[in-house]
A and B are shown apart, each in its own frame.
Chain A
């Protein structure tokens, strides 16, 4: 019996099926809890699924590379999903055109705030240089953030982890903060969520309204560009 189970484990742990399945099931479980708790921001499905999978990986002593071998099929869809943001962007093109200048101003201010605040706080609290550099691009969507991190001397995979923590913090506290500040404009809501919490913020914004989601998508897409250009400039001044 013991040996039989062991054999099955050896087989499964070498095939992508196990961790692909585990990721889907963990996410569905997270989503179930999220809807059951009336969409409590603290029960964010990405955070719940991540917690569950990290625990599983540590408990079974599975390296991340093995996990990713299965999960990469889901991860891959991030690219086409980013392209698919063209659809909501097209639907709201009139709003975007009308708000082009305010959009540009808000995004420049938001991008600079994200970088300066992260670097300043981490520096003040005594984080080491590599950590600080890896933190600088954390508000940007993962692939861009990793590219920036590499260029400025950070650790790309550490940046990826920080991007995800940022996304989850934004998803949890962003809606609470916006409610507390009594910001009612869906464009401002989506824009700030997309700036602070990239794709995770965009996903949350879609649940607020399609207009908020579109503005979040725009913010996420353009923030990548703006931050890529701003970070090297800001770092020479900050570090």
Chain B
């Protein structure tokens, strides 16, 4: 648990240092994510400890957004005066983004995707980690993600 947390924080820290040092347009944690994937590639995958810690954090991901969401309280005035424009823009944009992304992927996958019968089933076959953290693991827990 502590070892895995340390690895996560160190990856983020290196990510932040590199991003700020080189003025990259990427956020530090995203670079940290890539670093950790690289680490897994070197080590042949996440250990049991890291897998458990990551699943624990990610199955409660929703909670982590609450503090930022409450920040809306600072912009009450603007939401009161321009509320309809803002909400309609957010709503319309979200709906269109979902439709365009989903259909663009389905189209491109048929057009350019590697021909594979069942991508999900096949990867589960490759990957021993899939089985012990299947949908049931995340969804059945009371503290599962929202």
Measured CB to CB, the residues of A under 8 A from B are 23-24, 26-27, 30-31, 34-35, 44-47, 49-50, 53-54, 57-58, 64, 67-68, 71-72, 74-75, 77-92, 94-95, 98-99, 101-103, 105-107, 109-110, 113-114, 117-119, 121-122, 125-128, 131, 135, 138-139, 141-144, 147, 157-158, 160-171, 173-174, 177-178, 181, 183, 185-189, 191-193, 195-197, 199-200, 202-204, 206-211, 213, 219, 221, 224-225, 228-229
Alpha-carbon distance between A196 and B139 when the two chains are bound, in angstroms: 22
A-B contact pairs, 19 of them (CB 8 A): A50-B70, A75-B68, A84-B58, A90-B45, A101-B108, A105-B108, A109-B101, A113-B93, A122-B89, A127-B89, A131-B82, A139-B94, A162-B90, A164-B69, A181-B99, A186-B120, A188-B109, A203-B62, A211-B123
Would you call B89 and A118 a contact (CB within 8 A)? yes
Question: Among residues 47 to 63 in chain B, which have CB atoms less than 8 Å away from a CB atom of chain A?
Answer: 50-51, 53-55, 57-59, 61-63
Alpha-carbon distance between A47 and B71 when the two chains are bound, in angstroms: 12
Would you call B88 and A125 a contact (CB within 8 A)? yes
Known: A135-B86, A191-B105, A199-B61. A82 touches B93 (CB 8 A): no
Question: Among residues 27 to 83 in chain B, which have CB atoms less than 8 Å away from a CB atom of chain A?
Answer: 27-30, 32-37, 40, 45-46, 50-51, 53-55, 57-59, 61-75, 78-79, 82
Contacting residues, chain A, for B142 (C-beta < 8 A)? 31, 35
Contacting residues, chain A, for B64 (C-beta < 8 A)? 74-75, 77-78, 81, 199
Q: What's the nearest-Cβ distance from chain A to residue B8, in Å?
A: 4
- Of the residues A50, A80, A210, contact of B135 by C-beta under 8 Å: A210
Would you call B87 and A83 a contact (CB within 8 A)? no
- Of the residues B25, B33, B100, contact of A83 by C-beta under 8 Å: B33
Interface of B is mostly: helix
Contacting residues, chain B, for A191 (C-beta < 8 A)? 101-102, 105
